[in-house]
Amino acid sequence: MRHPNPPYHGTCLCGAVEVHVTAPPLLTTACHCRDCQKLTASAFSLTTLFPSDSVSCTGSLIRGGHRAAPRNHSFCAACLTFIYSRIEGAEHRINLRTSILDDAPLFPPFVELMTVDKMPWAEVPATRSFTHFPETSEELQALMEAFARG
């Protein structure tokens, strides 16, 4: 599926945090891990990966959620909407919560992760699936390249 051309815009639930993105996505995912289920109070979280230098946020953010290395999660300080995650060792990427984007329906998940924890009734339109996370950076790079080809 082709995505709209950047720039992209989004906000948290209360509008106190605004997100602006100037580059196309690197990958879209649905994660079924128990941490994402609990962080989002849902069966899975939707994430769109972007180059870090293409994403800017205005408004007050706080760190929260499961703070175990290597993940750092950021939320709106006012309404606690989950905005993005950063992964230590992958500072060149930011994992933006797809649902905060104004055009969120145009970013369906390309890959689903952690299907070992998937709720049996949860369905997503992903064309690729992993029982856990990709094990190597080469595997993740191949996914991003396949995503870029459409």
pLDDT of residue 90: 86
Report phi then psi at 70, rounded to 5: -100, 15
Q: What percent of the chain has pLDDT over 70?
A: 96
pTM of the model as a whole: 0.92
Taking alpha carbons only, the member of 94, 40, 44, 37 closest to residue 71 is: 94
User: How far apart, in whole angstroms, are the C-alpha atoms of residue 31 and residue 29?
Assistant: 6
Return the structure tokens found at 110.
Answer: 């390309």
**Which residue segments constitute the domains of the chain, with CATH numbers given?**
8-149 (2.170.150.70)
Report phi then psi at 104, rounded to 5: -50, -40
> Looking at residues 26-51, what average pLDDT do you find?
93
pLDDT of residue 1: 58
What pLDDT, in 10s, does the model give residues 51-72? Answer: 999 999 999 999 887 655 677 8
Report the amino acid identity of residue 89.
Answer: G
pLDDT of residue 40: 86
What pLDDT, in 10s, does the model give residues 75-111? Answer: 999 999 999 999 888 889 999 999 999 999 999 999 9
Greater model confidence, 3 or 126 = 126
CB 122 within 8 A of CB 36: no
